[in-house]
Structure 1
């Protein structure tokens, strides 16, 4: 509820002033009196309903005045209808699933952290079609770009190391993603590629794939994930069980930077979980969907209800005073 003329509420100040004046007048008024030696016998006389109705008149009048003030303030019921149109972005998230993604320099491991942060990113992209591509020695599409984000997140959870032969075919990961976006009619097309290594497999090198992406107007954001130096990698020993060995972290940052730059994207390096979250947040801000909103506001005046109720209370107060009880508060 809104108020068209809220300044009229200042008139309510008159209520306590008026009542205070009338009470003071009754208490100080000197009426003719008759002296009795004792008034004890009056206690046993039965009461009369008029003794109570005498106070009803001022209550009704004050309530009626309050409703008149509310009516003057013009209460309105506001109904808003929003017409929204969104021009979304087509996004492919290309994720490295080579065995090195099991390294635990980012808790619980690189792949699990990447999946968790990617899922949060998907939740923020309400108007965008999102798909998932994975790569190791080969590359394949897990789910093509779609607005069914629940499906995308469910399929994201299923990806794991060992689905395809081990290796890191970054160029193939980019090429497969391009194949899913090249016929898109979206105004903006984006690939978010995440890897922790160097290209060592596949028929297409990443630089050539990047040039292909630029030809189709596709921006690529490349993410290198992994600490600097060495990282703990789990090894399952048949005799001693699981143990860890430190492996070198080799990310071809120069190549990833070149691929991103030639498509108008950016390269990022995430050495811990917080950096990875911050990177996805930054990409979320860089790639904003265009959303137009038209708001229609319909206001319904409610003052007739208050005005009618005030008139009814005023009439009841007049009838009560005229025929049932005369109030000393409203007559001098």
Structure 2
């Protein structure tokens, strides 16, 4: 509850003066102030009871005054309605699932680290439609852009190496994601492409796919994953069990930078799991969702009960003074 005119409460400062005046009038020796006419209905009551009833009159008047002041202050009940217009973003996560993603320079390995961080990214994008595509030598869509983020994360967990033939067809992977976004009516459309290698397969050149993204107005963030130099790669030997060998890390950063630049995106390099998480956090901040709020406020006046209560209180005071006691204290 709120008050439209709370300044009227200052009028309550008059009450102490009224109380003081009444007490002064009552105790100045003018005992006639508690005298009763012979026609009073309380003539048969003892004097001390009749004297106590005299005090009800100012109490009723003070109560009425306080209630009238409260009504003047206009108590109100505020009902607020908020309408939100959300301009979401359509995002496709394009993830490299070639066997090189098994390298363990990111913990526990590149693919698992990417899946965990992508899941966190999806959970933070409440108002966006997010889809997932994967690529190696071929590419396919795991889940199209959807607002059902639980489904997207559930499908993300099923991604693994070996789902398609091995290789790195970056152009095909990007084109698959573009195909999912080209007919989208979202104001902003984004592809986040993650790879750990160089394009070595596919019928579509990555730069051609980048030009296609630019023509569609789709922004592409490219991401190279892997340490610089070499990375530990697990090899399962049937005789000696699992062993590790250092493999060269070759990422075509120049090509990835060019794709990002021509589409208005950015290129990132992640050499550790922590850096990969920071990169997705940075993209999360760069691609903010526009939310427009329209607030409607409706006020319901609640002064009527206070006003009516004040009138009743005033009437009781008048009756108590004129009809019951038969004399007016304030006139004596």
TM class by smaller structure: 0.7 to 0.9
Quote the residue 2:311 is aligned against. 311
Question: Quick check: 1:50–1:324 contact (8 Å CA) kept in 2?
Answer: no
Query: What secondary structure, in the 3-state scheme, does the structure 2 residue paired with 1:260 have?
Result: helix
Distance in 1 (alpha carbons) for counterparts of 2:242 and 2:53: 90
Quote the residue 1:42 is aligned against. none
Question: Quick check: 2:169–2:202 contact (8 Å CA) kept in 1?
Answer: yes
Question: Quick check: 1:22–1:330 contact (8 Å CA) kept in 2?
Answer: no
Quote the residue 2:36 is aligned against. none
- Tell me how far 1:322 sits from its aligned partner: 5.8
Quote the residue 1:81 is aligned against. 81
* Cα RMSD for the two superposed structures: 3.8
Q: Deviation digits for residues 197-230 of structure 1, max 9, x if unmatched?
A: 2223322231222122222222111122334444
Question: Quick check: 2:22–2:330 contact (8 Å CA) kept in 1?
Answer: no
Distance in 1 (alpha carbons) for counterparts of 2:237 and 2:50: 99
Query: What secondary structure, in the 3-state scheme, does the structure 2 residue paired with 1:202 have?
Result: coil
Report the TM-score when normalising by structure 1: 0.77
Tell me: CA distance 1:57–1:132, structure 2 relative to 1, closer, same or farther (3 Å): farther
Quote the residue 1:212 is aligned against. 212
- Tell me how far 1:128 sits from its aligned partner: 3.0
Report the TM-score when normalising by structure 2: 0.77
Distance in 1 (alpha carbons) for counterparts of 2:319 and 2:118: 73
Distance in 2 (alpha carbons) for counterparts of 1:272 and 1:324: 92
Tell me: CA distance 1:63–1:159, structure 2 relative to 1, closer, same or farther (3 Å): farther
Query: What secondary structure, in the 3-state scheme, does the structure 1 residue paired with 2:184 have?
Result: coil
- Tell me how far 1:26 sits from its aligned partner: 8.2
Question: Quick check: 2:4–2:75 contact (8 Å CA) kept in 1?
Answer: yes
- Tell me how far 1:136 sits from its aligned partner: 2.0
- Tell me how far 1:76 sits from its aligned partner: 2.0
Distance in 2 (alpha carbons) for counterparts of 1:233 and 1:24: 97
1:147 counterpart = 2:127: no
Q: Which moved more, 1:62-71 or 1:250-259?
A: 62-71
- Tell me how far 1:232 sits from its aligned partner: 4.5
Residues 295-310 of structure 1 aligned to structure 2 (within 5 Å): 295-310=295-310
Question: Quick check: 2:77–2:299 contact (8 Å CA) kept in 1?
Answer: yes
Query: What secondary structure, in the 3-state scheme, does the structure 1 residue paired with 2:178 have?
Result: helix
Question: Quick check: 2:5–2:72 contact (8 Å CA) kept in 1?
Answer: yes
Structure 1: 5+ residue stretches without partners? 33-45
Question: Quick check: 2:88–2:128 contact (8 Å CA) kept in 1?
Answer: yes
Tell me: CA distance 1:232–1:300, structure 2 relative to 1, closer, same or farther (3 Å): farther
Distance in 2 (alpha carbons) for counterparts of 1:325 and 1:85: 67
Query: What secondary structure, in the 3-state scheme, does the structure 2 residue paired with 1:189 have?
Result: strand
